[in-house]
Amino acid sequence: MKLASLKGGKDGGLVVVSRDLQRSVSAQAIAPTLLDALERWAECEPRLQQLYARLDAGQVEGASAFDPRQAAAPLPRAPQWCDGSAFLNHGRLMETAFNLAPIPDMETIPLIYQGGSDDFLGPTDDVSLPDEAHGIDFEGEYGVMLREVPLGASPQLARGCIALLVQINDVSLRAFGPREMKTGFGFFQAKPSSSFAPVAVTPDEIGEHWRNARVHLDLHVECNGAWFGNPNGGAMNFGFDELIAHAAATRRLSAGTIIGSGTVSNAGGQKGSACIAERRAIEAIEHGAPRTPFMHFGDRVRMEARQDGGPVFGAIDQRIVRAPTPPQA
C-alpha cells in the first residue's frame, strides 16, 4: 500500500496512491490525515488496504492523476523524529579522514539523536536556508513510521510496530556540526527541516527487498543532474528494529514517530555516496584534502529508490534557495 498527504492544512489530506504512482484517491472517509490513521492503525490499515486494491484494479470512482508537486511530506509534522547513524562505514570514513577519535561502543550501541519534527518539507519544496557558508549538504536515508511502541520494547516487538517505510533527505549544515557535537548536547542548528519523498509504503510493498528490518534497495542520488551515488540500504549495521528498541529503552514512542537510518553508505567506494560530507572524506583520504564543494543557492538534489525499474517512494527533487530576511521587530 502507498499513502501520501496532499498539501492543505497543517497535516495535509490523506490519499491512497496507486502502485505506479500515477493515480490517487482521497482516503479521508477512513482517516482525514496520515497521523490519524497511524494512531488508529489497527482499525484503518485494513480499510486503506482495501481501497488501495480497488484503486490499483481501476475500480474506484473519483480517482485522479497523482502530482508529486502537490504532495507534502507524508507526515508534514510528526510527534517525534529520531535519526540514527546505522551505517558504520560512514562513521569510519569520517574518523579516518578528519582524524576523529572513535565513538565509544559505536559497534554495539546504536547512535541516534532527536531532531526537529515540526516542519518537514515535501518532495519538490525548495530548501530555504540563510547562508551558503553554513556548509549545505544533503543526506539520503531510509526511514520508518511507527505505530505506538511501548517502553522497553524488544527488537522483535519493535519490528511489529513498523507501519510504513519512507525515503528522506536529511538536510545538514556541516559548519555547525563539529561545535555542536563537542558540546555533548547533539545537533540543533546543524539540522534544518528534513525533506521526504511523496509516498510512504507498507513493508510488504517492496517484497523481498524488506528483510532483517532493512530496506535492500539502491538509493539513487544526483546533484545538479550528475550521478553522486547509489548505495544500498541493506548495509545497515543496525536494523530498524534495533534502532526502535534503542529509542524505546526509556520512553514510549507515540504513533507517528519517525526513525531514520542515517546516511546510506556502502564500503568500497563503487556505489558512490549519499551525502557530500562522505565524498569529501573519501577525497581527503585519497588526495589529502576534500575537493567537492558543499551546495550553493540554485543547486539541485534528486533522490529516488526504484524496484524492478519502477518507482517506490517517488523522487525527492528540490532546489537550494536563499531564505528571505524576516522582518525585524
Dihedral over Cα of 238, 243, 244, 245: its sign: positive
Let me know the angle formed at the C-alpha of 198 by 131 and 11, rounded to the nearest 5 degrees.
Answer: 85
Q: What is the pLDDT of residue 95?
A: 83
Q: What is the mean pLDDT of residues 296-312?
A: 96
The average confidence (pLDDT) of the chain is 95
Region for 58 from its dihedrals, namely left if φ exceeds 0, alpha if ψ lies in -120 to 50, beta otherwise: left
| Domains detected in the chain | 2-69 (no CATH), 75-322 (3.90.850.10)
Q: What pLDDT shows up at residue 137?
A: 98
Res 186: pLDDT? 84
Other Cβ atoms closer than 10 A to 30: 19
Q: C-alpha distances in angstroms, 318 versus 77, 222, 273?
A: 19, 11, 18
pLDDT at 105 over 90: no
Distance from C-alpha of 180 to C-alpha of 68, rounded to nearest angstrom:
35
Three-class DSSP category at 222: strand
The pTM assigned to this predicted structure is: 0.96
Report the pLDDT averaged over residues 279-295.
Answer: 94
- Predicted local confidence at residue 304, as pLDDT: 98
Q: How far apart are CA 276 and CA 305, in angstroms?
A: 19
Taking CA atoms, 241 is separated from 89, 109, 235, 259, 264, in Å, by 20, 13, 14, 10, 17
C-alpha cell at 182: 563537542
Residue 99 has pLDDT above 80, yes or no: no
Q: Pinpoint the alpha helices (H) of 61-142.
A: 88-98
Q: Which of the residue ranges 11-20, 93-102, 261-270, 316-325 would you say has the lowest mean pLDDT?
A: 93-102
* Type and span of the H or E element at 321: strand 316-322
Are 222 and 228 a contacting pair, CB within 8 Å?
yes
Angle between helices 276-287 and 88-98 (to 10 degrees): 50
Of 38-52, 154-168, 233-247, 276-290, minimum mean pLDDT range: 276-290
> Is the confidence at residue 34, as pLDDT, over 80?
yes
- pLDDT tens digits, one per residue of 158-169: 999 999 999 999
Per the structure block, which three cell numbers stand in for 4?
A: 501520501
> What is the Cβ-side half-sphere exposure of residue 292, based on CA atoms within 13 angstroms?
20
Q: Residue 27 burial by CB count (10 A; 0-12/13-18/19+): exposed, middle or buried?
A: buried
Least trusted range by pLDDT, from 183-192, 275-284, 313-322: 183-192
User: What is the pLDDT at residue 183?
Assistant: 84
Dihedral of the alpha carbons of 120, 245, 41, 32, in degrees to the nearest 10 = -10
What is the arithmetic mean of pLDDT over 250-269?
Answer: 96
pLDDT for residue 40 is more than 80: yes
For residue 148, the tally of other CB atoms under 10 A from its CB is: 15
Half-sphere exposure of 289 (CA within 13 A, CB side): 2
Residues 220, 138: Cα–Cα separation, whole Å = 13
First-residue to last-residue Cα distance in the chain = 48
The mean pLDDT value for 218-245 works out to 98
CA angle 20, 163, 105 (to 5 degrees): 115
Predicted pLDDT of residue 106: 84
pLDDT band of 326, cuts 50, 70, 90 = confident
Quick one: average pLDDT of 182-196?
Answer: 91
pLDDT band at 102 (very low <50, low <70, confident <90, very high): confident
Q: Residue 316 above 80 pLDDT?
A: yes
DSSP state of 55: H
pLDDT tens per residue, range 132-145: 999 999 999 999 99
Over residues 17-37, mean pLDDT: 98
* 140 strand-pairing partners: 169
